[in-house]
Amino acid sequence: MEVEKMSAKKCADVVGRNSEQWFYSTKVKEHFFRPKNFLKSQAELKRLKPNGVGLVGSPACGDSMKFWLRIDPKTERIKKCRWSTYGCGSAIASTSALSVMLTEKGGMKIEKALKIRPQDILKRLGGLPARKIHCSVLGDKALKAAINDYFKNTGQLDRMTEQGKKVIDKVLGITDEDIEHAVLEGAKSFEEVQQKTKVGVHDKGCIPQVKELIHYYRKKHFGEE
* Segment 35-89, tens digit of pLDDT: 999 999 999 999 999 999 998 875 554 578 899 999 999 999 999 999 998 878 8
Candidates 61, 81, 88, 206; catalytic one: 61
Q: Is 206 a catalytic residue?
A: no
Boundary residue ending a domain (104, 139, 159): 159
Residue 134 domain boundaries: 8-159
Options 11, 81, 88, 135, the catalytic residue:
135
By CB atoms closer than 10 A (0-12, 13-18, 19+), residue 83 is buried
- Rounded CA gap, 122 and 205, in Å? 35
Decide: helix, strand or coil at residue 95.
Answer: helix
Same domain flag for 101 and 184: no
**What separation in angstroms does the CA of 2 have from each of 83, 97, 107?**
9, 17, 25
| Under 8 Å between Cβ of 199 and 210 | yes
Q: What is the tens place of the pLDDT at every residue in 75-133?
A: 999 999 999 988 788 889 999 999 999 999 999 999 999 999 888 888 898 887 777 77
Residue 219: the pLDDT is 87
Is 3 inside a domain boundary?
Answer: no
- First vs last C-alpha separation in the chain: 39
Q: How far apart are CA 100 and CA 37, in angstroms?
A: 8
Q: Are residues 78 and 18 in the same domain?
A: yes
* Model confidence at 134: pLDDT above 80: no
CB burial of residue 189 (10 Å; 0-12, 13-18, 19+): exposed
Q: Under a CB-based contact definition with an 8 Å cutoff, are residues 129 and 117 in contact?
A: no
Query: Is this model's pTM higher than 0.85 or not?
Result: no
> Does 135 participate in catalysis according to the annotation?
yes
Let me know whether 133 and 207 are in one domain.
no
pLDDT at 12: 42
pLDDT in tens, 136-187: 778 888 999 999 999 999 999 999 887 667 889 888 888 888 898 888 888 9
User: Are residues 43 and 108 located together in one domain of the fold?
Assistant: yes
